[in-house]
């Protein structure tokens, strides 16, 4: 049995590595598309670009680990069933419980790894991303603006003709609304400054015009002597790089402190905004505790489904993996939504997909025992 266990575990680890690389690459491409605006800014160096890209990998792998475990268990046990290896082992006296021990062991170890990864590594990666991205935007606001170039800064495209001692001349600023241009600001001169204390960028323009494009063919022109507006770097980051909600970047101690502050606050201090933040932090804390157990549950469900269906082909395993994970994350998002609204307790709402998958696995195990 020890030899069979080692062989199954080795096959599972190889398949998990394959699935992790594949699914992480797919999710990474999605994040890379969101990061395009930030990566093409003039202040981005090769080092900062690499740090930005690798700092979001831990948060992506939080989602891809359970997918890889499910795919691996389907592939390994489906192939064994298709090649009649499971039938031979059962004829030799091995029970379904003995055959499931290797995959459950791997799932349990990965669950422990995910608990550490999701609670420590992923939030730290997102905080590193914010730090480096803020430096990139700071460089863009000071030295990254290039004359004659389309300099992208969130929803704004800044095009100065020349720059002389920090002053931009013949400036045009295009305001984007999705893929369309919503307005054009023109001014003979202007400056752009970074304020570290407020973590914001301020644009000052003098004696210019605003051409606002409205619905249909209508447009409006406004002349100004001085125009000053501020762009929050945190808002820029949320728009330019969709790396998740901001509670995901807090440490566990930071989340717990906010929850304690809410409980210790008098009733009149619990404003709707404070209450909403409380539920978001509570959901994030429980999310970090529940999602890692998906590795263990998916390992068992995938193995039982592979044993029962006998599908060893990669295309069938990939299809079942996508269908199961899609259903899992739909239930998880519903649970998070109801928990953030305060309709359901956070611990109950976030455990719903795990319970559903565990019950499904129990049903497959019952059917396997009856055969």
279 and 356 part of one domain? yes
Which pLDDT does position 241 carry in this prediction?
Answer: 59
253 and 106 part of one domain? yes
Q: Is 223 exposed, middle or buried (0-12, 13-18, 19+ CB in 10 A)?
A: exposed
Tokens encoding 188: 């003979």
Reported residue count of the chain is 371
- In this structure, what are the phi and psi dihedrals at residue 69, rounded to the nearest 5 degrees? -65, -45
264 and 358 part of one domain? yes
23 and 52 part of one domain? yes
99 and 163 part of one domain? no
- Rounded to whole angstroms, the Cα distance separating 313 from 143 reads 55
Strands 200-213 and 180-195 turn out to be: antiparallel
Which pLDDT does position 16 carry in this prediction?
Answer: 94
Select from 216, 240, 264 the last residue of a domain. 240
Which pLDDT does position 242 carry in this prediction?
Answer: 61
- Domain that residue 361 falls in: 2-137+245-370
173 and 310 part of one domain? no
Which residues make Cβ contacts (< 8 Å) with residue 87, sequence separation at least 6? 81
344 and 256 part of one domain? yes
155 and 232 part of one domain? yes
Which pLDDT does position 287 carry in this prediction?
Answer: 93
Which residues make Cβ contacts (< 8 Å) with residue 249, sequence separation at least 6? 123, 126, 127, 130
Select from 192, 215, 240 the last residue of a domain. 240
Angle 160-166-169 (CA atoms, 0-180°, nearest 5)?
Answer: 30
38 and 111 part of one domain? yes
Which residues make Cβ contacts (< 8 Å) with residue 15, sequence separation at least 6? 68, 71, 72, 75, 76
- In this structure, what are the phi and psi dihedrals at residue 280, rounded to the nearest 5 degrees? -65, -40
Q: State the maximum Cα–Cα separation within the chain, in Å, rounded to a whole number.
A: 89
Strands 219-232 and 200-213 turn out to be: antiparallel
**Strand-pair partners of 152:** 157
23 and 69 part of one domain? yes
257 and 343 part of one domain? yes
120 and 211 part of one domain? no
Q: Are 285 and 255 in contact (CB under 8 A)?
A: yes
Q: Are 145 and 42 in contact (CB under 8 A)?
A: yes
Q: Report the domain count for the chain.
A: 2
| Per-residue three-class SS string for the chain | CHHHHHHHHHHHHHHHHHHHHHHHHHHHHHHHHHCHHHHCCCCCCHHHHHHHHHHCHHHHHHHHHHHHHHHHHHHHHHHHHHCCHHHHHHHCCCCHHHHHHHHHHHHHHHHHHHHHHHHHHHHHHHHHHHHHHHHHHHHHHHHHCCCCCCEEECCEEEEEEEEECCEEEEEEEEEEECCEEEEEEEEEEEEEEEECCCCEEEEEEEEEEEEEECCCCCEEEEEEEEEEEEEEHHHHHHHHCCCCCHHHHCCHHHHHHHHHHHHHCCHHHCCHHHHHHHHHHHHHHHHHHHCCHHHHHHHHHHHHHHHHHCCCCHHHHHHHHHHHHHHHHHHHHHHHHHHHCCCCCHHHHHHHHHHHHHHHHHHHHHHHHHC
- Rounded to whole angstroms, the Cα distance separating 34 from 244 reads 12
- Rounded to whole angstroms, the Cα distance separating 315 from 312 reads 9
Select from 221, 240, 259 the last residue of a domain. 240
Q: Is the pTM of this model over 0.85?
A: no
Helix 346-370 to helix 96-116 angle (10° resolution) is 160
- Rounded to whole angstroms, the Cα distance separating 329 from 336 reads 10
Q: What is the pLDDT along the chain (371 residues), one digit of tens a residue?
A: 578 888 889 999 999 999 999 999 988 887 777 676 666 655 567 777 788 888 888 989 998 999 999 999 999 998 888 888 887 887 887 887 888 899 999 999 999 999 999 999 999 988 888 778 777 766 665 556 778 777 777 678 888 888 887 788 888 888 877 667 778 888 898 888 777 676 677 888 888 888 877 665 666 778 888 888 887 766 666 665 566 677 888 888 889 998 898 888 888 888 888 888 899 999 999 999 999 999 999 999 999 888 877 666 778 888 889 999 999 999 999 999 999 888 899 999 999 999 999 998 888 888 776 55
- Rounded to whole angstroms, the Cα distance separating 321 from 152 reads 39
- Rounded to whole angstroms, the Cα distance separating 58 from 45 reads 22
Residue with the two structure tokens 């305001």:
175
């Amino acid at each position: 049995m020890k030899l069979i266990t080692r062989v199954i575990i080795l096959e599972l680890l190889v398949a998990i590595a394959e699935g992790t690389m594949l699914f992480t690459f797919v999710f990474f491409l999605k994040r890379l598309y969101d990061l395009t605006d930030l990566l093409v800014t003039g202040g981005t160096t090769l080092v900062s670009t690499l740090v930005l890209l690798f700092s979001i990998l831990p948060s992506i792998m939080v989602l891809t680990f359970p997918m890889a475990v499910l795919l691996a268990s389907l592939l390994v046990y489906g192939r064994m069933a298709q090649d009649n290896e499971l039938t031979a082992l059962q004829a030799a006296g091995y029970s379904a419980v003995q055959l499931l021990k290797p995959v459950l062991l791997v799932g349990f170890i990965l669950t422990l790894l995910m608990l550490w990864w999701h609670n420590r590594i992923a939030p730290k990666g997102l905080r590193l991303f914010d730090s480096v991205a803020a430096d990139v935007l700071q460089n863009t606001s000071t030295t990254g603006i290039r004359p004659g170039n389309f300099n992208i800064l969130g929803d704004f495209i800044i095009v100065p003709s020349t720059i002389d001692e920090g002053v931009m001349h013949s400036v045009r600023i295009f305001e984007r609304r999705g893929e369309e241009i919503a307005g054009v600001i023109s001014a003979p001169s202007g400056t752009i400054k970074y304020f570290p204390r407020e973590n914001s960028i301020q644009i000052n323009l003098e004696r210019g015009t605003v051409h606002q494009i409205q619905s249909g063919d209508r447009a409006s022109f406004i002349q100004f002597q001085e125009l000053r507006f501020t762009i929050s770097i945190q808002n820029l980051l949320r728009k330019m790089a969709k790396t998740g909600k901001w509670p995901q970047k807090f440490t566990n101690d930071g989340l717990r402190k906010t929850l304690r502050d809410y409980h210790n606050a008098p009733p009149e201090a619990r404003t709707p905004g404070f209450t909403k933040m409380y539920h978001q932090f509570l959901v994030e804390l429980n999310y970090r505790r529940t999602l890692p157990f998906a590795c263990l549950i998916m390992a068992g469900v995938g193995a039982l489904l592979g044993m029962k269906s006998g599908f060893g082909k990669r295309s069938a395993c990939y299809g079942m993996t996508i269908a199961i994970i899609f259903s899992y994350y739909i239930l998880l998002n519903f649970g998070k939504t109801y928990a953030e609204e305060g309709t359901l307790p956070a611990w109950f709402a976030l455990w719903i997909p795990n319970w559903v998958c565990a019950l499904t696995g129990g049903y497959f195990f019952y059917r396997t025992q009856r055969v």
